[in-house]
Amino acid sequence: MSSTSASTLSPEHREFYEWFKSFWAAPSGQRVTERFPPDAKIHFTGQAQMSGSDYVMYMDGMLATFPGMTVTPLDCAGNGDMLYIAWETSSVIDGKPRKFLGVDRFRIVNGMAVEEHIIFDSAVLSPEGRPGIDH
């Protein structure tokens, strides 16, 4: 995270960003409950809206489906109750290593993510893949 971004974040956003980094250092579905209430609204590119409760199982399934998946936070910005985190994902998808970029937009209330939009080019997940939003 650039020093400019850090200085513009609220303490609540900084704390959530630190949690996000720690989550991806040791991800699991169960850890989702640390920052997502059961009634949170999750909007994942290419998927129907799900609740925070559903996100726990979804995360476990995603981690099992994409072996060695990593998410590296690159930068973040805050605006009111919204926090934006840009990231890079690396994983094996259909037997091929792939990297792609995305952004999560969180609505943070009392330290909890009550809404999240995970935004990326979902074509990178198809068997043939395509460059999509990557390097």
pLDDT for residue 4: 43
Does residue 37 sit in helix, strand or coil?
coil
Evaluate whether 86 touches 74 at the Cβ level (below 8 Å): yes
CA–CA gap between residue 111 and residue 38 (Å, rounded):
14
pLDDT band at 134 (very low <50, low <70, confident <90, very high): very low
CA–CA gap between residue 40 and residue 54 (Å, rounded):
9
CA–CA gap between residue 51 and residue 39 (Å, rounded):
5
Tens of pLDDT, residue by residue over 13-49, are 999 999 999 999 999 999 999 999 999 999 998 889 9
| CATH entry 3.10.450.50 includes domain 3-121 | yes
Which tokens is 95 given? 């037997």
CA dihedral (111, 22, 115, 49) positive or negative: negative
CA–CA gap between residue 104 and residue 47 (Å, rounded):
15
Domain ranges of the chain: 3-121
Evaluate whether 77 touches 61 at the Cβ level (below 8 Å): no
pTM across the whole model = 0.87
Tens of pLDDT, residue by residue over 68-110, are 899 999 999 999 999 999 999 998 877 888 888 999 999 999 9
Which tokens is 28 given? 């699991």
DSSP string, 48-82: --EEHHHHHHHHHHHHHHSTT-EEEEEEEEEETTE
